[in-house]
């Protein structure tokens, strides 16, 4: 998505909890690039492990639909980048997403992919509940386990309430 696309569609994105301004595109690229550079440093042996604390986050951004404060899906892009740049070293990827909200973008990015195990720990309201909780789709349910080559590789560990009781 180009900077002009973001500007043209800013009103649309605002409805999807994606607020944009003149710096959004550059900040999102820096955030995603920072995660990729951390992955590169680990793979090249410059560091033993890494943890990227970046904003904006990425787990709500779907392949063709940025939303939920997420322009680019940093985790999905980095996982695909690792498999592309280091195909002899990176055969499989494990992505663990622990957030109060379901990471719909990561799940949809790899739903049919046999090379990524996606585990999401999040709050999820059952369909019979009248409450809305972002992202508000049934994709976060424990019955969404992947399909095709990715069947069984999408794991949603759900909590029906805020916190333990």
123, 105, 15: which is closest to 58 by C-alpha? 105
Give percent of the chain above pLDDT 70. 84
Residue 23 has pLDDT above 60, yes or no: yes
pLDDT of residue 165: 53
Kindly report, residue by residue over 57-100, the tens digit of the pLDDT: 789 998 888 888 889 999 999 999 999 999 999 999 999 999 98
CA dist 79 and 85 (Å) reads 10
Task: Report, as an integer, the average pLDDT of 45-61.
Answer: 90
Residue 160 has pLDDT above 80, yes or no: no
Task: Report, as an integer, the average pLDDT of 35-47.
Answer: 98
Does 153 or 101 have the greater pLDDT score? 153
Task: Considering the candidates 59, 60, 101, 122, report the single residue annotated as catalytic.
Answer: 60
CA dist 68 and 135 (Å) reads 7
Kindly report, residue by residue over 113-122, the tens digit of the pLDDT: 999 999 999 9
Does 42 or 160 have the greater pLDDT score? 42
CA dist 37 and 77 (Å) reads 12
pTM to 2 decimal places: 0.84
CA dist 160 and 64 (Å) reads 29
Query: Does residue 78 contact residue 85 with C-beta atoms inside 8 Å?
Result: no
- Active site (annotated) includes residue 122: no
CA dist 163 and 165 (Å) reads 7
Residue 111 has pLDDT above 70, yes or no: yes
Query: Does residue 74 contact residue 106 with C-beta atoms inside 8 Å?
Result: no
List, as one string, the DSSP characters of 25-59. HHHHHHHHHHHHHHHHHHHTTSSS------SS--T
């Amino acid at each position: 998505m180009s900077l002009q696309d973001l500007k043209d569609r800013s009103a649309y994105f605002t409805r999807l909890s994606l607020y944009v301004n003149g710096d959004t595109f550059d900040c999102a690229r820096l955030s995603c690039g920072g995660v990729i550079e951390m992955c590169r440093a680990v793979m090249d042996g410059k560091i033993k492990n890494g943890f990227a604390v970046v904003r904006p986050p990425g787990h709500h951004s779907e392949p063709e639909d940025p939303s939920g404060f997420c322009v680019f899906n940093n985790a999905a892009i980095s996982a695909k980048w690792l498999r592309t740049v280091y195909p002899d070293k990176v055969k499989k990827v494990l992505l663990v997403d622990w957030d109060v909200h379901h990471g719909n973008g990561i799940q949809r990015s790899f739903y049919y992919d046999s090379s990524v195990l996606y585990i999401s720990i999040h709050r999820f309201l059952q369909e019979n509940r009248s409450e809305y909780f972002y992202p508000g789709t049934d994709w976060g349910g424990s019955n969404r386990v992947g399909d095709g080559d990715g069947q069984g590789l999408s794991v949603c560990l759900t909590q029906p309430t805020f916190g333990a009781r």
